[in-house]
Amino acid sequence: MHNIGILGYGTVGSGVAEVAKETGFLHVKYILDIREIPSVSNIVNDINILINDPEIKVICETMGGKEPAFTYTKLALEKGISVCTSNKELVDAHGVELSEIAKAHNCNYLFEASVGGGIPILRSLRQSCSHEKITNVTGILNGTCNYILTRMKSGQEFDDALKEAQANGFAERNPAADIEGHDTARKIAILASLVSGKKISYEKVLCEGITNISGRDFAYSEKLNMSIKLLGVYDSGQNKNYVLTAPFLVSAEHPLYNVNGVFNGIMIYGTMIDNLMFYGRGAGKLPTASAVISDVIECIKESGRNIYNGLNEEILNVSDINQRRDKFFVRVYDSDLEKVLKSFGHVSDEIKLYSDEFAFITENITLEEFNKLSAGLEIKNKLRVL
């Protein structure tokens, strides 16, 4: 029996306790939470009790947020206690520093559950693809947004889909972090850091959400036999490093097209292995907890030796997003047809579904070029095409 501690008894934390019990060889000796939870016997509110108990070799940090998670994690690692976390905000903000501390104390800081919920993407990158040169990562990384977009595809408007997501517990009461793309940006920043071997913080990621997607956008996508997905993208072709979060049109043939509801899908391209995709539950109590436990098991196996977790101090040089080439799907007012033809020249796939507007898809151009060409045009909406 291995004794572990849990920091924070929320959705994921209580899931970790449940999954740990299932394993039969993990015993949750302490659960740290500021609240009094009568149903839980081994609850404590002082971190020192955990880090001063020599029986505790691994702690699961499922509090979320920067503090006190950062302070507690540091205290544990400095005592040589490994920490496994689902806290992407902390990994993004202090992951490198915490990894250094773990290294210095021959223990580990692992964060499988911080990206893709139950999907074993980080371990696969770390252990199966460490010899691959991975030049592209494209992922549906936020279950809340994917649920909303999936419902919109079947006819709902954004506000109703959001309300439904909240009613089903798939979206927070304050959904900003999800629907504005910040959560996806944090996750693609972590993935980009791991595959590039250099640090990228999420402030460097172009961050567009889904709040301006309308039923009309889906009507056009239907017509084009495509769907709309919020994607996190890392793209390091031609000595450029683009990292962005934005809604994309995805064709029905693409493996990410069928990633629906709260599920996540992450596609990577390696120069030898070609395309790989991982699909699974990107959130939820037990899947996320299962990922935390997979880290706990690795920490126990590797007890006393620090393993490379993929994070490095060196900063990734992120390229100017204005120089990235994309095809853009654009909706403009009907009255602007002449302007469009004048500035964009021959417009491929001009689509007419509504009397007051039409849509078209540009050639492969940079955002800078797009902005020049669309000067004077009133753009109703624009989406990148994958």
Q: Please pick, among 57, 88, 187, 380, the residue that the annotation labels catalytic.
A: 187
Residues 313, 342 contacting (CB under 8 angstroms): no
Measured from the CB atom, is 307 or 361 closer to a copy of itself?
A: 307
Is 17 near a copy of itself (CB under 8 A)? no
Conformational region of residue 224, where left means phi above 0, alpha means psi within -120 to 50, and beta covers everything else: alpha
CA–CA dist 201, 369 (Å, integer): 27
Q: How far is the CB of 264 from a copy of itself (least distance, A)?
A: 11
Is 120 near a copy of itself (CB under 8 A)? yes
* 43, 177, 206, 277: residue in contact with a copy of itself (rule CB under 8 A): 277
Q: How far is the CB of 47 from a copy of itself (least distance, A)?
A: 26
Is 135 near a copy of itself (CB under 8 A)? no
Torsion angles phi and psi, residue 109, rounded to 5: -125, 105
Residues 243, 318 contacting (CB under 8 angstroms): yes
CA–CA dist 91, 98 (Å, integer): 8
* 36, 67, 203, 274: residue in contact with a copy of itself (rule CB under 8 A): 274
Q: How far is the CB of 17 from a copy of itself (least distance, A)?
A: 12
* 73, 193, 196, 294: residue in contact with a copy of itself (rule CB under 8 A): 294
Within residues 221-240, the interface with a copy of itself by CB under 8 A covers none
Q: What is the DSSP annotation of 34-92?
A: SS--TT-TTEES-HHHHHT-TTEEEEEE---SSTTHHHHHHHHHHTT-EEEE--HHHHH
C-alpha dist (Å) from residue 42 to 32, 39, 62: 9, 9, 16
Single out the segment in contact with a copy of itself by CB under 8 A; choices: 84-92, 155-163, 189-197, 286-294.
286-294
* 84, 231, 259, 385: residue in contact with a copy of itself (rule CB under 8 A): 259
Residues 152, 161 contacting (CB under 8 angstroms): yes
* 4, 6, 17, 19: residue in contact with a copy of itself (rule CB under 8 A): 19
Is 272 near a copy of itself (CB under 8 A)? yes
Tokens (6 digits) for 13: 């934390």
Q: Is 136 helix (H, G, I), strand (E, B) or coil?
A: strand
Residues 114, 99 contacting (CB under 8 angstroms): no
* 128, 322, 323, 348: residue in contact with a copy of itself (rule CB under 8 A): 128
Single out the segment in contact with a copy of itself by CB under 8 A; choices: 63-71, 81-89, 128-136, 153-161.
128-136
Measured from the CB atom, is 290 or 362 closer to a copy of itself?
A: 290
Tokens (6 digits) for 232: 């996190």
Is 13 near a copy of itself (CB under 8 A)? no
Is 293 near a copy of itself (CB under 8 A)? yes
> Cα–Cα–Cα angle for 278, 280, 286, nearest 5°?
140
Is 16 near a copy of itself (CB under 8 A)? no
Measured from the CB atom, is 194 or 291 closer to a copy of itself?
A: 291
Measured from the CB atom, is 241 or 294 closer to a copy of itself?
A: 294
Measured from the CB atom, is 303 or 381 closer to a copy of itself?
A: 303
Single out the segment in contact with a copy of itself by CB under 8 A; choices: 194-202, 258-266, 322-330, 331-339.
258-266
The count of residues interacting with a copy of itself (CB under 8 A) is 45
Is 143 near a copy of itself (CB under 8 A)? no
C-alpha dist (Å) from residue 146 to 34, 168, 190, 286, 382: 33, 14, 20, 19, 19
Is 106 near a copy of itself (CB under 8 A)? no
CA–CA dist 340, 347 (Å, integer): 8
Give the list of residues 6+ apart from residue 296 with CB closer than 8 angstroms, or none.
4, 20, 26, 58, 60, 84
Could you confirm whether 352 is annotated as catalytic? no
Q: Is 195 helix (H, G, I), strand (E, B) or coil?
A: helix
Q: Which residues bind a copy of itself (CB under 8 A)?
A: 19, 22-23, 112, 118-120, 123-124, 127-132, 253-255, 257-260, 263, 267, 270, 272-281, 284, 286-287, 289-291, 293-294, 297-298
Active site residues: 187
